[in-house]
Structure 1
Amino acid sequence: MRHYVEMPCRSLVAARRRGARPLAAALAFAAVSAWAQGAVATSPPAPPEVRNSALDAPLFYQLLIGEIEARQGQPGAAYQVILDAARRSRDELLFRRAVEIALQARAGEEALTATRAWRTALPRSQEALRTELQILSAMNRLDQAAEPLRALLAAATPAERSGIIAAVPGFLQRAADPARGARLVEEVLAPYLETPATRVAAQIAIGRARLTAGDGTRALELARQAHAADPAAQAPVLLALELLPSRPEAEPIVTDYAARPDAEPALLLLYARALTSTQRYAEALRQLETVTRRKPDLAPPYLTLGALHLELRHAAQGEAALRRYLELTEPAAAPASAASAAASGGGEDDRSHAPAQGRVQAWLMLAASAEQRGDYAAAERWLARVDAPERALEVQTRRASMLARQGRVDDARRLLLAMPGSEPKDLRARLDAEASMLRGVKRWKEAYEVMGQALKLQPDDPELLYEQSMLAEKLGRIDEMERLLRRVIELKPDNAHAYNALGYSLADRGQRLPEARDLIARALELAPGDPFITDSLGWVEFRLGNRARALELLQRAYASRPDAEIAAHLGEVLWADGRQDEARRVWAEARSRDADNEVLVETLKRLKVRP
């Protein structure tokens, strides 16, 4: 619901609807006809019994006049006419229309008057109560919301009540004072905490309201209580997932539920996505594999599963998962796919979206994987399937990358330069793609020059500055790298990657180690749990001589993200600790996934360890 500005009634009469859709006279007749049809009941025997509609001639013309007034930009007159008709007919559809006219004119008082007239005429109408609550919230009149909220709950049947309790925070979500709204929710729902049938719903509703008000401690406490009361309930898990970014201690609620054999796949998918967002890929994989094992015909998990496997350099598993996703989303598989979408709550696998989004994404990932394997013909076959203009630059960038890998860098650059578009954003996108292609074949100097052209277009773009800093580091221009990273931090103080890159660079060169630790610690505050930042902190601790702490951090990072660079650092700490067999095992695992990783290759060479 939009935030509506109150208007006196006299202003409403003169107000004109802003942004109202055109309403042809035929639509006015159609609206009246729809109302009339709703008032006519027929019985099945033939000939059907005919009952006269409650729509008499005066009421018909009254509704017609009201709709014409609305169409002609006279919402005040339309409101008065429709509300009068609603009162006379006691029809819910007409009360709803009167409220709609008032809201479109941003007249909160009149919308509230209509809902209260609606309640008077139809005391058992739950829709009237819900509408009144939403309007009171938008007008920030929470002091008046307790009565309709209690009435709504009292009017519900026992079977409906838990669902309505769960919806209570949503009625007040637009309140200007969330803390006040949370107190209201807690006050109104207090009696329902005493009843076993509604206790969990009330705990979660209060917890959600508290979370909206910024009270994560209370929200977590209520989520724990609700989960303990009903370990199979999904609502406490959803609240815990919302809490995870700021309250990692909510995770045991999720993991406890995820271990259940009857865990809902949609919740496991949400958990996997939460893990992916913090780069806990190994754990995310386990959740996705659980879902695909229990629901092998559910399509969405395979797309994420494929992406994660490819990110972790598991090419065969990644491609297999993506092929399975494509198989399940083929047009011929529509019935199974529809069931799949329903089971997962819709989303990626909806038939109207999968071909344009999920399938295109799968094709592009399969092309990238084939390119990594050196199978350029297969990569081109996947790219040829993509018929999405908005992904054209991505497709051409992939093709340019393949040309560059085959030594045809000039051809690759010409391909990107031929892309259409003369706007600055188009030029920036092409330059970014060209720099990315050159980085892929380690043409650092040329990539640096191209990125410099992009920076001339947008000299204070934090992303471009960060990329240029990484290229400066590759060229050995350490002072420039530091200057660029400090500029990124100045422009975007919450950029965790800039703090981490600067701190890691200092640590790797053994310089200003206390400062390096402070920078990396700040990065970890901004991105808690990030395995690459945890790796950086472990590396600086090793450089500082804190071997035990370094080992703890690096093992945690590697368990979360078994990346070759993290493996190089972990193996070196194990090697220095005299645990050479463990170090060799870690390095062997890393080489099996990414044998060409520069940090891994350099580490093994420096320590004189034979592969």
Structure 2
Amino acid sequence: MTPSLRRSRLAAAALLTLAALAVQAQPGTPVPAAPTSPAPIIEPAAPAVTTPAAAVQRAEKAQASALTAELFYEVLMGELTARTGDPGSGYALVLDAARRSRDGKLFQRAVEIALQARSGDAALAAARAWKETLPESREARRFELQILIALNRIGETAEPLRAELAATPQVERPFLMAVIARNYARATDKKLAASVVEQALADELKSPATGGAAWSTVGRLRLAAGDTSGALEAAQRGQEADPSSDGPAMLALELMDPGQPLAEPLVKRYLAGPKALPELRVAYARVLVEGRRYEDASAELAALTVARPELPEPWLLLGSLQTQARQDAAAESSLKRYIGLADTQRDAEARSRGQTQAFLLLAQLAERRKDFTGAEHWLGRIDSTEDLVGAQTRRAALLVRQGKLPQARELVRGLPERTADEKKQKFLAEVQLLRDAKQYQAAYDMLTEASTASPQDTDLIYDRAMVAEKLNRLDEMERLLRRLIELKPDNQNAYNALGYSLADRKVRLEEARTLIRKAVQLAPEDPFIADSLGWVEFRLGNIDEAMRILEAAYKRRPDPEIGAHLGEVLWAKGQRDRALSIWKEAHLVDADNETLQETLKRLRVKL
């Protein structure tokens, strides 16, 4: 059993039973139906009893707990009255019987009747009567706590929460606190929720045994309240209390952002420890990928595959990054390693998704080396109906590579279109086939017709602009990209495409640099946007700055187009041997790259 699975099971056994009542109510507001049992974590209630026989059954169970005949009759009448449309009277009868018999099951039933009647105040009154009658009952306190949270009466939860913490065994408290964070995060007044929980956890925050988990709970509630600085402080204090606790590191991982530079060191410090969970290292790698820090992500995953080679997921992620970096041999090895280990994944859905991704990537690698039979083999192993569109689209692309455009278009047109999104994806896939086949006019005509029907669709506008450029309709391209910027001012691709086009044509270079700098601001880790910035600096005559930017971009992503630009800058600086070396490297990756071919032809270079 992995540590995370063991923890999730322990968390499921935590003794707190805060309800997952998805209602944001005020005192006196009806609430959803209650669960029939408060332990370990309250689940939604089953429907109310609907037959007289069931009501009698409940009453017989009550009689089995040594109720007098009078109380037995009272319980029976309460159940029947609740069933026949008078839950208020039924509730009163059952609650009275509970008080007189001091029977916890009857108190619980009174709470359930009130909640099924959507009367939060009555349910709270029953739970509190239960607690007063049976002060040692943890179930009574749990129900009181859950109802108070559901009613957003957060200020009243401090005392029962402290009591629940005190009654929970020390070993279970870290997992209990994870449940606390999840449930209190639903409160309307999130700042108050964070404050109340912090007060209730005062002793836990000071304890070395629970400090890491307690501060993580406080930090998550601060984060839910929008207090990122307070959340970071909580993560720092939690790690100081217990460096091996995974809670502060997980919180810091959520806080990782260019605006929070102190969050990542907490994650790294935890991962350097001997008890670091491999799942958290994988999560860290995913965050790095989202930030386009591909080299750092690859390094984390490579270290994990060495330390824990039996884990499948790191191999899949590493293979994906290696494919993207065009490290084809290493990528193929990693992906095949994943396929060999995939059956050890317990989550069937995750296993199916992972295998599909691996097969698609292996098909892509085979296609790069023009092994179309091999690519078809890997695509043929995809048996998930959900991934049919992706597999068939790749098959269509293979047909285009073999000069079979009509067959490719028919294959895509035959795909299902059960939703509007599927219909759009089919359309864009067919447009891409035409672009791959250099049938730019046909692609442009399709996009123009679709844009007329959906003039605000930014995906169509961008694709139409890119095809217009291929047709040398540069004014139209610029008009479309400016329209896209107007509709979506945070679209970095629009700024980058327009700026690069100007730079490549050596026109309005200052404007080009301004546009590309805006794109960099929106996506600072994107190596292709960095490539555009390096290219415009080169066009402006800033060769040293251009080389610095392009060197960094090529290191981050050794793409043939970036290599073509870097090689030209090196050639201009007189470093011709190094330029030739980079061009040869780019040529091995993709000999058909248009930018590379144009560069070599213009400079009259033969490799």
| TM-score range normalised by the length of the shorter chain | 0.7 to 0.9
Cα gap change, 1:167/1:443 in structure 2, threshold over 3 Å: closer, same or farther? same
1:439 deviates by 2.2
Select the residue among 482, 485, 488 that pairs with 1:486: 482
Structure 2 residue aligned with 1:263: 276
What does the per-residue CA deviation read over 1:286-317, in whole Å, with 9 as the maximum and x for residues that have no partner? 22222222222222223222322222223333
Structure 2 residue aligned with 1:430: 426
Structure 1 residue aligned with 2:465: 469
Query: How do 1:36-75 residues align onto structure 2 when only pairs under 5 Å count?
Result: none
Hey, what's the Cα distance between the residues in 2 that align with 1:565 and 1:171? 50
Amino acid at match of 1:314: Q
Select the residue among 408, 417, 425 that pairs with 2:404: 408
Cα gap change, 1:174/1:609 in structure 2, threshold over 3 Å: closer, same or farther? same
* 74-83 vs 184-193, greater mean Cα deviation: 74-83
- State the secondary structure of the residue aligned to 1:377: helix
Select the residue among 366, 369, 374 that pairs with 1:370: 366
Hey, what's the Cα distance between the residues in 1 that align with 2:295 and 2:56? 56
What does the per-residue CA deviation read over 1:171-229, in whole Å, with 9 as the maximum and x for residues that have no partner? 32122232333333344434443333333233322222222222222322332343344
Instruction: Report if aligned partners of 2:27, 2:151 keep a CA contact under 8 Å in 1.
Output: no
Select the residue among 557, 562, 566 that pairs with 1:561: 557
Instruction: Report if aligned partners of 1:35, 1:93 keep a CA contact under 8 Å in 2.
Output: no
Instruction: Report if aligned partners of 1:507, 1:543 keep a CA contact under 8 Å in 2.
Output: yes
Structure 2 residue aligned with 1:148: 160
Instruction: Report if aligned partners of 1:568, 1:600 keep a CA contact under 8 Å in 2.
Output: yes
- State the secondary structure of the residue aligned to 2:219: helix
Amino acid at match of 2:332: E
1:273 deviates by 1.0
Amino acid at match of 2:351: A
What does the per-residue CA deviation read over 1:562-595, in whole Å, with 9 as the maximum and x for residues that have no partner? 3333333344444445555554444444334333
Structure 2 residue aligned with 1:214: 226
What does the per-residue CA deviation read over 1:455-513, in whole Å, with 9 as the maximum and x for residues that have no partner? 34433211222222222222222222222222223323332322332333333333333
1:133 deviates by 4.1
Select the residue among 290, 293, 298 that pairs with 1:277: 290
Cα gap change, 1:134/1:552 in structure 2, threshold over 3 Å: closer, same or farther? farther
Hey, what's the Cα distance between the residues in 2 that align with 1:449 and 1:559? 39
- State the secondary structure of the residue aligned to 2:502: helix
Instruction: Report if aligned partners of 2:25, 2:152 keep a CA contact under 8 Å in 1.
Output: no
What does the per-residue CA deviation read over 1:134-180, in whole Å, with 9 as the maximum and x for residues that have no partner? 44344333322322233333333333334334443323212223233
Structure 2 residue aligned with 1:398: 394
- State the secondary structure of the residue aligned to 2:424: helix
1:255 deviates by 2.6
Instruction: Report if aligned partners of 2:462, 2:494 keep a CA contact under 8 Å in 1.
Output: yes
Select the residue among 359, 376, 382 that pairs with 2:378: 382
| Unpaired stretches in structure 1, ≥5 consecutive residues | 14-18, 41-51, 331-336, 342-348
Cα gap change, 1:506/1:213 in structure 2, threshold over 3 Å: closer, same or farther? farther
Hey, what's the Cα distance between the residues in 2 that align with 1:188 and 1:12? 25
Cα gap change, 1:317/1:74 in structure 2, threshold over 3 Å: closer, same or farther? farther
Structure 2 residue aligned with 1:310: 323
- State the secondary structure of the residue aligned to 1:231: coil
Amino acid at match of 2:315: Y
Instruction: Report if aligned partners of 2:31, 2:151 keep a CA contact under 8 Å in 1.
Output: no
Structure 1 residue aligned with 2:589: 593
Hey, what's the Cα distance between the residues in 2 that align with 1:534 and 1:158? 52
Structure 1 residue aligned with 2:249: 237
1:264 deviates by 1.4
Indicate yes or no: 2:206 matched with 1:180. Answer: no
How many residue pairs get aligned? The number is 575
* 158-167 vs 493-502, greater mean Cα deviation: 158-167
What does the per-residue CA deviation read over 1:368-405, in whole Å, with 9 as the maximum and x for residues that have no partner? 33333322223333333333333333232222212211
Instruction: Report if aligned partners of 1:6, 1:107 keep a CA contact under 8 Å in 2.
Output: no
Hey, what's the Cα distance between the residues in 2 that align with 1:426 and 1:513? 40
Cα gap change, 1:310/1:191 in structure 2, threshold over 3 Å: closer, same or farther? same
Instruction: Report if aligned partners of 1:604, 1:610 keep a CA contact under 8 Å in 2.
Output: yes
Structure 1 residue aligned with 2:301: 288
Instruction: Report if aligned partners of 1:86, 1:94 keep a CA contact under 8 Å in 2.
Output: yes
Hey, what's the Cα distance between the residues in 1 that align with 2:74 and 2:536? 79
* 427-436 vs 412-421, greater mean Cα deviation: 412-421
- State the secondary structure of the residue aligned to 1:232: coil
Instruction: Report if aligned partners of 1:6, 1:109 keep a CA contact under 8 Å in 2.
Output: no
Instruction: Report if aligned partners of 1:432, 1:454 keep a CA contact under 8 Å in 2.
Output: no
Indicate yes or no: 2:335 matched with 1:322. Answer: yes
1:2 deviates by 0.8
| Unpaired stretches in structure 2, ≥5 consecutive residues | 1-20, 33-43
Task: Give the structure-1-normalised TM-score.
Answer: 0.81
* 366-375 vs 546-555, greater mean Cα deviation: 546-555
1:549 deviates by 4.3
1:242 deviates by 0.1
Structure 2 residue aligned with 1:2: 22
Indicate yes or no: 2:517 matched with 1:521. Answer: yes
* 540-549 vs 176-185, greater mean Cα deviation: 540-549
* 231-240 vs 148-157, greater mean Cα deviation: 148-157
Cα gap change, 1:101/1:189 in structure 2, threshold over 3 Å: closer, same or farther? same
Instruction: Report if aligned partners of 2:52, 2:80 keep a CA contact under 8 Å in 1.
Output: no
1:108 deviates by 3.0
Hey, what's the Cα distance between the residues in 1 that align with 2:160 and 2:282? 37
Cα gap change, 1:488/1:74 in structure 2, threshold over 3 Å: closer, same or farther? farther
Select the residue among 171, 187, 193 that pairs with 2:205: 193
Cα gap change, 1:473/1:81 in structure 2, threshold over 3 Å: closer, same or farther? farther
Amino acid at match of 2:230: R
Cα gap change, 1:423/1:275 in structure 2, threshold over 3 Å: closer, same or farther? closer
Hey, what's the Cα distance between the residues in 1 that align with 2:31 and 2:147? 17
CA RMSD of aligned residues (A): 3.8
Instruction: Report if aligned partners of 1:538, 1:554 keep a CA contact under 8 Å in 2.
Output: yes
Structure 2 residue aligned with 1:350: 347
Hey, what's the Cα distance between the residues in 2 that align with 1:483 and 1:104? 60
Amino acid at match of 2:347: D
- State the secondary structure of the residue aligned to 1:329: helix
Cα gap change, 1:30/1:448 in structure 2, threshold over 3 Å: closer, same or farther? farther
Hey, what's the Cα distance between the residues in 2 that align with 1:34 and 1:277? 59
Structure 1 residue aligned with 2:239: 227
Structure 2 residue aligned with 1:539: 535
Cα gap change, 1:174/1:73 in structure 2, threshold over 3 Å: closer, same or farther? farther
Cα gap change, 1:6/1:218 in structure 2, threshold over 3 Å: closer, same or farther? closer
Cα gap change, 1:359/1:99 in structure 2, threshold over 3 Å: closer, same or farther? farther
What does the per-residue CA deviation read over 1:393-425, in whole Å, with 9 as the maximum and x for residues that have no partner? 323222221221111111222222333448765
Instruction: Report if aligned partners of 1:272, 1:288 keep a CA contact under 8 Å in 2.
Output: yes
Instruction: Report if aligned partners of 2:440, 2:467 keep a CA contact under 8 Å in 1.
Output: yes
Structure 1 residue aligned with 2:15: none
Structure 2 residue aligned with 1:250: 263
Aligned sequence identity (%): 50
Cα gap change, 1:148/1:446 in structure 2, threshold over 3 Å: closer, same or farther? same
Cα gap change, 1:448/1:33 in structure 2, threshold over 3 Å: closer, same or farther? farther
Hey, what's the Cα distance between the residues in 2 that align with 1:189 and 1:235? 15
